[in-house]
Structure formats: C-alpha cells, structure tokens
Amino acid sequence: MELYQLSLHELQDILKKQDSSSEEIVLSILKRIKLVEDNVKAFVTLDEELAIEKARKCDQEKDYTGISGIPYALKDLICTRGMRTTCSSHMMENFVPTYDATVAAKLKEAKGILLGKLNMDEFAMGSSTENSAFYPTRNPWDLERVPGGSSGGSAAAVAADEAPFALGTDTGGSIRQPASYCGIVGLKPTYGRVSRSGVVAFASSLDQVGVLSKNVRDCAIILNIIAGHDPLDSTSVNVDFPDYTESLSTDIKGLKIAYPQEYFQQGVDEEIKEVVKKALLKYEEMGAVVEEVSLPHSEYALAAYFLVSTAEASANLARFDGVRYGIRDLEAENVVEMFSNTRAAGFGDEVKRRIMLGTYALSSGYYDAYYLKALKVRRLISNDFEKIFKDFDIIVSPTTPTTAFKLGEQNDNPLTLYMNDILTVPINLAGLPGMSVPCGFAAGLPVGMQIIARPFDEAAIIRAAYAYEQYTDHHTVKPLLGVKENG
Amino acid sequence: MSLSIKEVEHIALLARLKLTDDEKERFSQQLSSILNYADKLKELATDDVLPLEHILPIYNVFRDDKIQPGSLREDILSNAPVLQEGQYKVPRIM
Amino acid sequence: MAKGYETVIGLEVHVELKTESKIFCSCSTVFGAEPNTQVCPICSGFPGMLPVLNARVVELAIKAGLALNCEIADYCKFDRKNYFYPDLPKAYQISQYDLPICKRGCLEIDADGQKKTIGITRAHIEEDAGKLVHQGDITSSPFSLVDLNRSGVPLLEIVSEPDMRTAQEARTYVEKLRSILLFAGVSDCRMQEGSLRCDANVSVRPVGQKELGTRAEIKNLNSFRSLEKAIEYEAKRQIFDIEDGVEIVQETRTWDEEKQTTRSMRSKEEAHDYRYFPDPDLPPLKIGKDWIETLRGSLPELPDQAQERLIRDFNLPLYDAVIITSSPEYLAFFDDCVKLYSDAKVVSNWMMGELNKVLNQNNMEISDCKIRPNALARMLELIDEGTISGKMAKTVFEEMFASGKEADLIIKEKGLVQISDEETLKKLINDIVVQNPKVVEDYKNGKKKAAGFFVGQVMKATKGQANPALLNSLLEERLQKEL
C-alpha cells in the first residue's frame, strides 16, 4: 500500500507510531496528484510548498494528535485566509479572503494540512461540476463521466486518492450525490450542526458544510472537529454533540429502519433499487427492523426546493456587484451598467438562470404563488419526516436515481439535470442529517445508499452506516482510474 | 406559466444582469418550463399551512454590544477593483 | 395655505440607536472616523459572512416603543429588502417587513396651545447603508466614492400616521419624538450627524374630503427648518398643480436646499420591487412579557411626565414646560437650578431667553455649556440682592457663557456693581435737572416722557450701573419739587 491510498484513521495510526512522517505522507499525496490530476481535474488551487512546509513543522514538533500532519482539501467556496477562493466562478477568479471560514479555522487549529481548493459547480449550482467556470472534473471510476456535483471536486479528489478527506457543502444533495457517484462516504449534517460562517452562501436556509471521506470512521473523526456552535453563525445551534466515534458500533440489533415507497419510484433505475433493497436485507440480517413507509409529499419537494433555493440565491449572489471584490466592467458609464455588465460577465449560464428564477419567484405579484407556496410545501415535507421519525430511527433510500452520467449528456434541458437531486432535496428542506454510503455497483459504477435521521442525530446515521460498512466490502473497491500505478 | 421576453427583461433589470438577445430567448423558454414544473405545487391545498420560514426552533440569538477591532483598511480594501482615497470608487450614479 | 385645501402629512423618522457596536458585527459606531476604518468583512458584505444580532439593539427598540406607547410584538423577524446601490454592500438591507417590533403607538404634541395626538403606525429595526461621496451634485458627479463606516449602524424607523396638518405640526412632532427618544436614552438624535433623519409624506385635499390625496415622499430633510420649508413648498406645489389641472403622481422627491424647492427623483429605470423575504440567516425574536416589563421599569421620567411635574410643582405654563423638556440635559439644568434658586419662572425665562439664544448662536448643546446651573442660580440671586441690574446681568451672563467664570468674579473684575447709594444718585439727578431747564419746562407742560431723558442721562453718567428702581423713585421725587 502506498501512503496516499490510506484513509484518515490509517494515517493517524501511522503517524502516531511514527512509521512515516507527515512530510512523507504529503509528498506521497502530491505525487499521486501529479499523476492523476491531469485526468481528474479535482483541484482549482494547489499549494504544494505550503503543504510541505506545514508537514515539516508537524514533524519537528512530533505533534500527531487528532488530524495533525494529515492533508486534506476544501471545496472552493470555503473561504481560506490568504488562499484564493473562487467558487469556481470567473466573478471571483482572483478573490483572496482576509478571513477563514470557521470550518477552515477549525481544521487549521487541529493542525491538518491544507493542500488546496477543490473544483465545484459555480457557486454550488449544479449536479455535475460541469458548471465550473474553469474546467469540468471527471469521475475517477470513468473519466467519461461526471463526478456529480456540486462538490464534484471534493468527491473526485477523495475517490482518486488525491486527499484522504475533503469538505464540501450540500444545499440539495451536493455532498451526497457526488459521494454516491464516486463511491465514497458523504455526510450532510443537520442544518445548524456545523457553522456556515465564511462559506459562500448559495441558499442560506439549506446550505450545510459536510464531510467527504473514504469510510465512516473518518467521517466521524472530522465531524467531531467541525461540529458545534459558532458565535459567528446565528443558525449554528448551541447544543452539545456527542463524540461521534463512539457511535462506530456494529451492533444495530433492534434499529428501526424505514424505507419510503416514493423513493423507490420516481424514475429510479431498476438496478439501483435492487442494490439498495439488497442493502436493506443485509440490515435485516444484522438484526434491524425494516419497514416500508410513505412520505406523501415527496413528489413536490423538487419544485419547492427550486423556488426556495433560487429565491435565497438571488439575494445571496446580489453582493457580487463589482464594488468591493471580484471582477468589474471598467468601461461602464454608470453604476447600473457597471452592475449589469459585471454580473453578466462574471456569472455563468446556470447561475444566471437560477438568479433569474429566484428573482421572479420573489417579485411583486408572484411571491404568494411561488415563494410563499414553496415555504408552505416545505412545512408539509418536514411534517412527513417528523411523522416517520416518531416510529423509526433512520430512513434508508437510494441517494440518486441513476449512477454517474456522461459529461455533456444532460446539458440540453436544465430540468432533467435538476432531477438528479430528487431524492436528496427533501432532506435539505426538512433540515435533516443525511449520508450517502457506498452500497454496491450498477454496471461497474458505484451506487450510494442514503441514510437519514432525526435532527441532530448524526450518531444514528454513523452507527447504521458503520455497521453496514463493516458487514460488507463495497468501500474497499477502488477505481482503477485509467492510469497505471507509478506510470 | 410562460415568461415573455419582456418579463425576462424586467427580471434581468431587477437582478442587474445584462442579457444578450439569445439569452433572453433561451431563458424565456427554460424558465417557463421550470415554472410549469413548479406549478405542480398548486395541486396541494395549503390555505391552512403555515409557511416554514425557519427550520430550526431557535429564537433570540444575540451577541453582546461589544466593540472588537474591525479589519485593517488595507486588508479589507485589498480585493477592490478600483479605489480612491481609501474608498471604493464607482462610476456615475445618475 | 391656499383657501379650501388641507395639507396631510405623515413622517418617517430614522433614528440611530445608541449602541457601541453595529447591529450585526462588532465594529464601532462612533461618528466621524476616517473612511472605511470602522468596517469588517461582515458590514462590508463579504462572501460567506453572516449577521449576528446585537442584543442592545433589541432592548433599545423595545424601550423606544414603550416610550412611544406602542404595542411590542411577542414575535417578530428580520427580512431582506433587495435593491442594488453602491453603498449597500450585500445589495439587500436587513430590515423588518410585515412584523415590526413595535406598532400602534402615539405621542401628544402641543398644537397652538391644544393637545393633539399623533398616531405612530409602526417602528422597526433595520441596518443603515454606507455613505456615498460625490464630486458636487449626485446628478453631475462623474464618479462617487463609497465609505462603509455607517454600513450596519442600527436604526429604528418610526412611521407616523398621516395625522399632521401643518408644517409647524410636523416640526413639533419631530421635536417631541426627539425629546422622548432622548429621555428614553435610545438615541442621540443628532440631525447634523445624521443620527435623526426625516422623510415626509405630503398630500393635499379639499377641506371636507375624506379620502387622502396622492402623496409625494420628500427626502433629504436635514434640519427642522428644511422640514418645515419643504412641506410648505410641496403643499403649495401640489395645490398649484391641482388648480392647473395637473395630476399629482405618487413619487419620491428631494428637497433642494439651495433652490428651496422639491424636485422629482423619479427614475425611468425601474419601478421599485424590493422582493422582501424572511432572512434565513437570522432566527426570529420572541419577546416575553417579563423582558418587556423589565425594560419598562428601566425607563426614566419621560417628557410628558416631566411637563406635568413642571406645571404641577412649579406652576410653569405649558409653553415653558415643553421647552424645558426638549432634552433630558435641559431639564436637568432646570431641576438643578431651581434647587438653589426657588423662582422657577425666572429660571425658565432665563433658560428660554438668554441661554437658548447663546446656545443657538454658537450651535451648542446645553451639555457643552460652560454655565452650570449653580452659576446661573447665583447670578439670579445677585439680581435679587440688587448687586446688579437685570440689564447688567445680561452682560454678566454673556461673559459667564464665554469664559465660564462665576458671576461674582466677573462683577468684581469689571467693576459692574450697581449704584444703590441714595446720596450719590440724588446728587447726579440734581445736577442733570439743573443743567436742563428746557426739559424740565417740557415736563411741567405735561410731557411725562421727558422723565425718560433724565433716566438716560443718569445711566450714561453711571455707565448703566445705577439701580434702575431706585433711580426712578428718586427722580420722580426730585421732579415733584419742580411742579
């Protein structure tokens, strides 16, 4: 095994035993990146020197507690002081924050080693990472295919062994869907569990930072670091959280699992249904109680999601006006022209489309019919979940209706592309925690199983996911990546 | 629901997005089709449903009225496209 | 006011709430700093930065609401008001739309000696925008500069009912509002620093008509004077237009201080559509009864209560009481002064007269004034004791104001002591009477005014230091002898 192939907790063990140094780990990863990055294109910014320098410092101090000395990378909308943060947008191509996002600061404080910033759909709007203003990222399992999105760079980097773990953000599935497409673990915590401060907002009531990792244990380790109240984010909840690694138990006897019938219809590929149903059988084998339930408002979630998220986005992205940061049209004769030209030049097609839709949904005469209506439906969807969680500990479903699709395949009609999120958006609307765990393959491509729990009960997800992971071996299968080892 | 070119232009002005004729045409079609899909929500009777404005049951989140030093001026202005005398410079307003 | 028309005025007043730090971040709110030195990524609208509400803002807003007899909402929230402008960093202002923190209040004004109640529709919390500096006028400036020091300063917007009928009433309303907020300790209300700003909604209608006319909103009213002038001008303009058959359009107009006119600010660019929606970054507020009652208990004496006390305890006229209660510092000055000098009406006269005059001339607040209440009380005693005349006292007062010296010291330094010695005055009077036989003749012939000539001459000879009452009686005594 090469060092870059190891997962976070394996690297922790190696460092603790001092079998290898942090510098050796970082160099191994950088070598791996050099080898595969031309094909994968997961990174927007890579700072090799900084990473090596930090690794050496860790080695000098011989401080190998927590994630000290272990490299990682961040989705490029998580602000990093002194390191360019682009949101994969021309608008912010040269933006260098003077502040760290709280999650970035926490990982820095834990002495993890930041390698760089990861590609994404521009401003997190998309499901394929094709909406990056720079270049699309490719799926390590099949370079002709997309890694999913919007945290496609994060998922691809972890799947391609370019980083042991990464952070992403999830507004409607943007962690879980790419994790599913790339065959890794992706957790979107409960809304309010992790600080959003310093994370460029797409839809403030739905966005949540989460972890993409090679296994469930690593996910628990990182969640321990990034979770918790932040005085800089009024929506980060001030409640205690457990040590998530204590939930890494294989005993799930009596665990009550619901699977919603609606999540096994809605145009979900037959193969995917089969793989997930097999997983449910495994759960039964392990002693869990599995029952079919109904979430009757599921079919309305995508429409509600689109109205709410774009409305919020239209306000959140208004600040990119060319005055204080970002690009500017310097030729404009007046302020209105400057705003309009700057934004026309800075934003890509999908971002414009969503700003337009959101502006419309909030505009005079349409607010009640669209935005307000969506908020009401949001309550119905939330109520559906609440009802189920009176009797069940977790809900299990496929993460996505299909496996990774080919680049360019879904570019014609935005609506078809949005359908990729149909099984993940309800969870954001209800503010619940959700994880995608590898649970098998369909036509050689990874399939993810989504596990959903009550608000702030990430522990239940981690327990169920870990038990499944230990009972099966899907997570040990790695992409070949079309490049020869050491080639 | 279908969105006319004129409506697209109005929304684009509100959103401060200068659109090409091609974009106007395309957005008019695409937004219409998305809105048609969204009209699905009208199937649901929601008169008695309260809009869900905040998902978290939390209230009164405050900070104390204490001053902390802000940013250094050169730091905060370091990303600005055009500056003059320590201020952001913008073209004519009217 | 042209006959047959009535002016209807409603006011929107923005006051800056008196906090140390801004509403959603920890930057200072102190006025007058170098541009962009009281800013951070939050109030400059940088990507990813989030608002966290300053608790003091809510307390002050509730206190203001209680002082204005408002209902305090048990539940309220914050909304985003969306519009693009270079001084608005997020391109939305965090405000309160459909659920303001305070609603349905009122205050009483003195309108021509009559008490009149002006309704307050609502008061809501919002953040201020930054400042734009133009080269000359906004319409011709080739570029503008943005200073974000003000961005995120907490404001309370207080919206009145259209209950005022004259420019004078509008002015009186703002003065009363200001004094209430000053007493409640929620704002400094300094118009010149922009911590109290005023927009007026003005319409006219034929007397007797019930429906309101179409209104214009007038902005840029930076002083009480411009508020009055602008309303007067705007009402006349609307009446002329109506008489000329020109339809009044609902619009925003700006007061042109130089030309003393209002002019339209209508832009053809777009109709405003602020697309308000609840701000997802800020959890709502629940305001319990206990909190409200604690804050109510912490309110000090307010202008109406103080006025009642002044009328009851000191027998002051309402007119005096209103002026004395224009600010808490002013009232404190009065209260301190009457503790040492018991004739409250004399104190009130001096405060409304000489003191106000010099403060206005020097554009000063009473707190900056070098004359302290004990010094004024001592000076008033010196008048009563006959040491100085009322007229001399004005000179002494001016000197006290300029130098801050005590009255006794000024009198001594300037040799300003009043001549009350009968013999000295008798001799002076006699000399002047003897030297002016013709005037004596006039007096004998019934020209009683001639006596004034002798007073003047004696005052001239004594450099104004003769005790006027004594001089009058001695002169009369002397002239009687001639008859």
Q: Is C113 on the interface with A (CB under 8 A)?
A: no
Which residue bears the tokens 């619901």? A258
Residue B24 placed within a domain: yes
Q: Is residue B10 part of a domain?
A: yes
Q: What is the pTM of this model?
A: 0.92
- In a domain, residue B31? The reply is yes
Q: Which residues of A are catalytically annotated?
A: 75, 150, 174
- Write down the pLDDT at residue C268: 47
On whether any CB of chain B is under 8 Å from the CB of A364, the answer is: no
Which residue in C41, C50, C91 is closest to A234 by CB distance?
C50
C394-414 mean pLDDT: 88
Q: What's the confidence (pLDDT) of residue C420?
A: 78
CATH code of A135's domain = 3.90.1300.10
A285 domain-assigned: no
Would you identify the CATH topology of the domain C422-480? Arc Repressor Mutant, subunit A (1.10.10)
Contact C40, C27 (CB under 8 A): yes
A379 lies in some domain = no
- Determine the residue type at A108: K
Overall domain count for chain B: 1
Q: How confident is the model over C252-288, as pLDDT tens digits?
A: 999 998 899 999 886 544 567 999 999 999 999 999 9
Do residue B54 and residue C278 have CB atoms under 8 angstroms apart? yes
Q: Which chain C residues touch B70 with a CB distance below 8 Å?
A: 25-28, 37-40, 43
- Segment C416-457, tens digit of pLDDT: 777 777 888 888 888 888 888 888 888 888 777 778 888 888
Nearest CA to A422 among A304, A251, A253, A293?
Answer: A304
- Chain B residues within an 8 Å CB radius of C40: 70-71, 76
Question: How far is A271 from chain B, CA to nearest CA, in Å?
Answer: 27
Is residue B56, in this structure, part of any structural domain at all? no
| pLDDT, mean of residues C115-126 | 97
- Structural domain including B20 reads 5-41
Residue A118 confidence (pLDDT) above 60: yes
Which residue in chain C has the smallest CA separation from A91? C47
Q: Could you tell me the pLDDT band of residue A210, with boundaries at 50, 70 and 90?
A: very high
Per-residue pLDDT for C86 more than 70?
yes
Residue B25 covered by a domain = yes
A396: in domain: yes
Task: Identify the CA nearest to A315 among candidates A278, A249, A363.
Answer: A363
pLDDT, tens only, A445-474: 999 999 999 999 999 999 999 999 999 988
Q: What is the mean pLDDT of residues B17-27?
A: 97
Alpha-carbon torsion C352, C353, C354, C360, what sign?
positive
Report the CATH number that the domain containing residue B20 is assigned in CATH: 1.10.20.60
Contact B92 A370 (CB under 8 A): no
Encoded tokens for C202: 């003005």
Q: Binning pLDDT at 50, 70 and 90, where does residue C461 land?
A: confident
Contact criterion met (CB < 8 Å) for C273 and A314: no
| Cβ contacts of A363 on chain B, cutoff 8 Å | 11, 14
Say yes or no: B63 contacts chain C, CB-CB below 8 A.
Answer: yes
Task: Report the gap between the CA of C267 and the closest CA in chain A (Å).
Answer: 12
Of C55, C84, C286, the CB nearest to B64: C55
Calculate how close chain A gets to B46, using CA atoms only, in Å.
7
- Looking at the structure of chain A, the number of domains it has is 1
More confident residue, A152 or C479: A152
Spell out the domain ranges in chain C.
Answer: 5-291, 301-414, 422-480
Is there a domain that residue A383 lies in?
no
pLDDT at C476: 85
A281 domain-assigned? no
Hey, which chains touch B, using 3+ CB pairs under 8 Å?
A, C
Residue A83 lies in a domain: yes
What's the pLDDT at C270? 52
- What gap in Å lies between CA C13 and CA C174, rounded to an integer? 8
Tell me the nearest-neighbour CA distance from A107 into chain B, angstroms: 23
Contact assignment for A324 to C89 by CB distance below 8 Å: yes
DSSP assigned state of C267: -
| Residues 6 or more apart whose Cβ sits within 8 Å of residue B5 | B24, B25, B28
Residue B92 touches partner C, C-beta closer than 8 Å: yes
Residue at B19 is within a domain: yes
Q: With an 8 Å Cβ cutoff, are C55 and B73 in contact? A: no
Residues above pLDDT 70, as percent of chain B = 99
**Do residues C219 and C254 make contact, with C-beta atoms less than 8 angstroms apart?**
yes
Residue A275 forms part of a structural domain: no
Q: Is A36 within a domain? A: yes
Please indicate, yes or no, if residue B76 is contained in any of the structural domains.
Answer: no
Percent of chain A with pLDDT over 70: 99
Q: With 70 as the cut, is the pLDDT of residue C2 above it?
A: no
Contacts of C281 in chain B (CB under 8 A): none
> Between C434 and B22, whose confidence is greater?
B22
* Percent of residues, chain A, with pLDDT higher than 90: 93
Interface touch A343/B56, C-beta < 8 Å: no
CA distance linking residue C164 with residue C169, whole number of Å: 6
- C130 has a pLDDT exceeding 70: yes
Q: What is the domain range of residue A218?
A: 3-261+388-476
Measured between CA atoms, the residue of chain A closest to residue C280 is: A205
Rounded to the nearest angstrom, the minimum Cα separation between A446 and chain B is 30
How many CB atoms neighbour CB C258 within 10 A? Answer: 6
Taking only the tens place, the pLDDT of each residue in B78-90 is: 999 999 999 999 9
* SS3 per-residue string spanning C389-430: CHHHHHHHHHHHHHHCCCHHHHHHHHCCCCECCHHHHHHHHH
| Residue A244 CA neighbour count, 13 Å, CB half | 27
pLDDT digit string (tens) for C206-259? 999 999 999 999 998 989 999 999 999 999 999 999 999 999 999 999 999 889
Question: Which residues of A are less than 8 Å from B7 in CB distance?
Answer: 360
Burial of residue A486, with CB atoms counted within 10 A of its CB: 0-12 exposed, 13-18 middle, 19 or more buried: exposed
> Does the distance separating the beta carbons of B15 and A356 come in below 8 Å?
yes
Taking residues A281-295, report their average pLDDT: 98
**Inside any domain, residue B80:** no
pLDDT (0 to 100) of residue A487 = 38
